[in-house]
Amino acid sequence: MSNVRSADQTARYTTAELFDVQTYPLDQADSPQYGAMVREAIEGLTSDNCAQLENFIRPDILAAMQQEADELSKEAVFHQANLNPYFTDAPEGTPADHPLNRFSPRRHGMVRGDRFARDGVIWSVFQNRDLCRFVAQALGYEQLHTYRDPYACTNVNVQPEGCEFAWHFDNNEFTVSFGLKQTDEGGEFEYVPNLRSRDDENYDAVQKVLDGDRTNLRSLKLRPGDLQLFRGGYTLHRVTAPKGGERQSLLLSYVTEPDDITTSDKAIRIWGEAHPDHYARDCQLAGAVSETP
């Protein structure tokens, strides 16, 4: 079975126009070089839950992406909250120093997916079939699809100067991101691989990291043009506060179900409003429930 389902819209740019195919031959899936690229990504994900492929984007395309992101950054929807590493409330009676009770401020902005021009470079990167196939193979999926949610399909993440993404675990299975803007100081992606598991939250080890233990910590800078594949469900991670400017990254969302889309209540909670497609999803889910025997 093919690793890629047809994208919702035809991309304007070819794979060779978007990516450094001399180093990363995305458009040569049967070549030994492509196989080596996939194996390298798998090795990083297997050992550390993280793979970084440097200078993945062509320089001219990167410059166009940065310009597009900068022009749209003023439209970012900003969120500010105090969150623990699990994005939950602490149960009553939880000790003050327990990881469930360790809340930290988080502030960042997200540019909605419907803001990107459908003939622009960012949308073309997201819709690229060869990239989607590679991501699926590297992450071990038989097939992935570009997320069709109108707001959350692809986003530019804006991290203002002095604002940290505090330590946390992800609720999603993986993230795919490109670096767009990075500061000389701060803005470092720090992570501790496999700190918890499906069967063990390992709260003692999490608490040590929150208290400053850096024994098993990994650190990297997501530079402009770099591609990062990351599994954050069991890997505690954060992005330190950028200094001297803001940090920007492009998030690409892929899903295993081609018609997956969020509901209106979740969209309103994240974006402040919902799209007609979200309400259509509500009706679809309600109809499925009513038809259940």
State pLDDT tens for residues 160-210: 999 999 999 999 999 999 999 999 999 999 999 999 999 999 999 999 999
CA dihedral 118, 120, 121, 126 (to 10 degrees): -10
pLDDT band for 289, please (50, 70, 90 cuts).
low
**Whole-number percent of the chain with pLDDT over 70:** 94
- Please check whether residue 156 is in contact with residue 250, taking contact to mean a CB–CB distance below 8 angstroms: yes
State pLDDT tens for residues 224-266: 999 999 999 999 999 999 999 999 999 999 999 999 999 999 9
- Residue 287 is predicted with a pLDDT of 82
* Residue 27: how many other CB atoms lie within 10 Å: 16
State pLDDT tens for residues 266-284: 989 889 999 999 999 999 9
Query: Is the pLDDT confidence value at 80 over 80?
Result: yes
Note the pTM of the prediction, 2 decimals. 0.92
